[in-house]
Amino acid sequence: MDSPTINTVLRLLKKEIRRWKIPAVGVVAERAADRPFETLVSTILSLRTKDKVTEAASRRLLERASTPESIAALPAVEIERLIYPVGFYRTKARNLLETCRILTEDFEGKVPRGMEALLKLPGVGRKTANLVLTVGFGDYGICVDTHVHRISNLWGYVKTTMPEETEYALREKLPRRHWKTYNDILVTFGQNLCVPVSPWCSRCPVARYCPRVGLKKSR
């Protein structure tokens, strides 16, 4: 898949995904009072967790405490109760507490606007940092989760084995104007149509552009 084709595919999918619900992190960000911070919180909670659970847990926690200072003041057991049943909820509660303490003490209660500083926060990897930069701040970045990694390789647009490799490959190849929206488009597409097990190729609006690299089964 070359650059002119990726432009066409993303344009078609951008129209298609309007029919589906956007990912949980985007839902939280759209109604956020502090968009970078609430994006950070919901993204930390989203790891290994379904969107419906992430959205509900984010809402419960942020309704109880909506700033780094107020979350840092909560007991760990209360955060655990509020975010349960997200995956690894005890670990995430500890990470959120420490992250909010750092934000309060070192950044005046604000989320830092830079990859290097974000990666120093507990529980924050490149996926989370990129999502905070793109969704939280509206900056350029490429967030790669399992859907982005899988579909980018399915299209033959990249040839990588790990999500971090995919991020760097996309930084080299993907036109910059798509960086901010690539994750939202592919995640929504991957959750609803191009699903991991037996994707709905017969219904896909971009099937004619897709070489289906490595795909063994589809519907």
Active-site option among 127, 173, 180, 217: 127
Do 2 and 206 contact (CB within 8 A), yes or no? Answer: no
| Closest to 182 (Cα-Cα) out of 9, 1, 56, 5 | 9
Active-site option among 145, 173, 180, 216: 145
| Closest to 46 (Cα-Cα) out of 193, 162, 161, 187 | 187
Token duo for residue 123: 């529980």
Q: Greatest CA span in the chain, whole angstroms? A: 54
Q: How far apart are CA 38 and CA 131, in angstroms?
A: 11
184 a catalytic residue? no
Write out the E strands in the chain.
Answer: none
Long-range contacts of 96-100 (CB under 8 A, 24+ apart): 96/41, 96/44, 96/61, 96/71, 96/123, 97/71, 97/72, 98/122, 99/40, 99/44, 99/68, 99/123, 99/124, 100/68, 100/69, 100/71, 100/72
145 a catalytic residue? yes
The residues annotated with a catalytic role in the active site are 127, 145
